[in-house]
Structure 1
Amino acid sequence: MIKNLMRRGLPALALAALPLLTTGAPSAHAEPSLPTAHLATAPGPAGARVPLPLFEAIDRIPVADEQRAGYKRDLYKHWNRGLMPSDGCDTRKEVILSEAVHAPQVAAGCKLTGGSWRSAYDDVVVTDAARLDVDHFVPLAEVYDSEQTTWSAARREAYANDQGSPDTLIAVSAASNRSKADKDPAEWMPSDGSYHCTYAATWVGTKLRWDLAVDEAERQALLGLAEDCPSTTVVYEPAP
């Protein structure tokens, strides 16, 4: 659980100092010096992990106009039965459990009580699982816009429930997720400025993992973020 929070850019030693809040103002934290999006392993010699500078990673994403016509959310089946169907928890609940700072109690039917979570988008700690959303880091509508060829139903379901990367799905406060909606980085960024470099790198890594395109406005926004994040790197693994 702590490991998952560190992947979100929060040092382990800082977890104990987080206030237990359900709402809060945007953080004024300084930009972290070496943020990295950890998305499993990137292609490289002998399977080595190869961090890419953010600028270089952005350049690997093809540019194409968005195509929203025909989009329906139910084209991306979610949530499915998760990695462990026998536990009674669907993908959404499994993500919530994996990202808990303090683990909740799990009752029959995967009912969660207690626990706490850090919402990376707005830098607050949520103490009620019902006030969490599990966000598709690249929103489903944005994925539809960005498919380079039309995906099969199976690939869409695989994306919508992807737990093969720690970053495709993220548990955040419901308020921050609904503020984001289906916007890309040209239209929305987290209120916590200290998370911007990690957010940009994770967005780019997820697009690379799933072979998705960017539109020109999105690309320019990402390049602008890369200018502010010179030490940020991206590590990704193509989705199976």
Structure 2
Amino acid sequence: MKWYYPGAWHHTDQAGWLCSVDNNFQWRSRCDSTSGTNPCVYWSKAPPAAGSPQAVNWAPYFAQARGQLDGQAGQIGSAPPTKGVVNIPTCFWIDGQGIPDDRKLSVTVAGAPDAEGRQIYYTLLIDVAFVRAAWNFDDPHNDTANATPPTQCGQHNQLTAHQYVEISEARHPDQKYHVVAAEHYAITGEVYWTDSYGSHHQNVDSGLGDVVISTPDYPQYVGQIEAIPITPASP
């Protein structure tokens, strides 16, 4: 309800007691009072308050959620850990991934006051969800295929394997392949609020699209099995 506290009652022969709402004696409402006790109070119903998820600029909150991903990429592990062999799958995985599945965040923000001074409060729920890992095996033949990890590699987060056909000695000065995993995330949001028409919720676009963070380079040596000549013992 909207309340006014005007100056005084005023009595007329035609309408009885009326409530003056300003100094110009513009009468707004008939009152039921039979006496002119001051101050009089005039009240009227305020218009409904309607909310909208666009009432708040959510971009800074999505940007904050995006910023929390920085530094959250994991570290690559491998098997064999020191020396892989050509034509045999080398296993890779990600250890210490900051968000291996998903993370939920929430923030409550007041909308701007309306003409009556009322504010609607909005709660934004943000979901940061891991989507996939894209591997760059640094293969000189541009081979990006994932091989089936041998059972000997065990169980690891984002476990994969790659089969090199060329040794790594000519690839970089350190004679190793530099493997990188790009972690892809989706950041989505949903807004909840209550106004004069009830409770509501609606999806809101984060505007961030595909969010990618990458692991540090992982140096992996890949060689070949050398035949060792054996001289038969003399009789």
TM-score, structure 2 length as denominator?
0.19
Bigger Cα Rg = 2
Higher normalized contact order (CA 8 Å, seq sep 6+, divided by chain length): 1
Q: 1 or 2, which has the higher helix percentage? A: 1
